[in-house]
């Protein structure tokens, strides 16, 4: 079964949004590195790598379905963040935007009767729960650390421990 035009378009747009997510996390990581928070920068860098895998998951899915993949230009990622709290708030706001985008894809897959696409999206729907939990926790941690140098240092050290592990998205390794 071919995908509907609008669903294929939504999948292609989501590939671009996931690459933009990667780009944004890279920009946030760079800001943290330049502002003496190498641990938090590491956390964001791991997330950057994760977002590339999210994009690859959608690319692979379109290929499995025999649909065309479009690689549109990625928007510039940058911003003027005042402190680490603002950096992590930007990440959370972006994840909320991505959750909304994936929910709309699932609604379209349901309306178009594309059960395979709808089931495939379950992985991403559940992943967004994790992303928002992480995002909310991060904002809470930085709010608590406030301007206390000792708390900021110990928080930054905790973020240094995050290691990259590729997500197991359906079909990615087929």
Site string for Fe ion, 106-145 (x = CB under 5 A): ----------------------------------------
Q: Between residues 97 and 107, which has the closer beta carbon with respect to Fe ion?
A: 97
Exposure of 156 by Cβ count < 10 A (0-12 exposed, 13-18 middle, 19+ buried)? buried
Q: Whole-number minimum distance, CB 131 to Fe ion, in Å?
A: 5
Q: Between residues 152 and 172, which has the closer beta carbon with respect to Fe ion?
A: 172
Q: Between residues 52 and 69, which has the closer beta carbon with respect to Fe ion?
A: 52
99-127 exposure pattern, b = at least 16 Cβ within 10 A, e = fewer: bebbeebbebbeebebeebbebbebbeeb
Longest dimension (CA), the chain: 58
Q: Whole-number minimum distance, CB 85 to Fe ion, in Å?
A: 21
Site string for Fe ion, 12-51 (x = CB under 5 A): ------x--x-----------------------------x
169 alpha carbon, distance to own chain's centre: 14
Q: Whole-number minimum distance, CB 130 to Fe ion, in Å?
A: 5
Residue least distant from Fe ion (Cβ): 54
Pick from 66, 68, 52: nearest CA to 12: 68
CA distances from 148 to 28, 59, 152, 154, 166 (A): 22, 44, 6, 10, 34
Among 11, 32, 54, 114, binds Fe ion (CB under 5 A): 54
Contact residues: Fe ion, CB under 5 A:
18, 21, 51, 54
């Amino acid at each position: 079964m071919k995908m509907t035009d609008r669903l294929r378009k939504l999948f292609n747009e989501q590939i671009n949004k996931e690459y933009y997510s990667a780009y944004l996390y890279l920009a946030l990581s760079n800001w943290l590195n330049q502002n003496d928070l190498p641990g938090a920068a590491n956390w964001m860098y791991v997330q950057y790598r994760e977002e590339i895998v999210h994009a690859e998951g959608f690319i692979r899915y379109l290929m499995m379905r025999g649909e065309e993949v479009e690689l549109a230009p990625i928007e510039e990622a940058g911003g003027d963040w005042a402190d680490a709290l603002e950096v992590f708030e930007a990440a959370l706001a972006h994840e909320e935007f991505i959750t909304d985008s994936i929910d709309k894809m699932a609604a379209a897959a349901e309306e178009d009767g594309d059960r395979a696409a709808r089931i495939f999206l379950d992985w991403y729907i559940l992943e967004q729960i994790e992303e928002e939990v992480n995002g909310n926790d991060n904002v809470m941690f930085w709010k608590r650390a406030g301007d206390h140098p000792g708390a900021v240092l110990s928080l930054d050290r905790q973020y240094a421990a995050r290691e990259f592990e590729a997500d197991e998205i359906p079909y990615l390794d087929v």
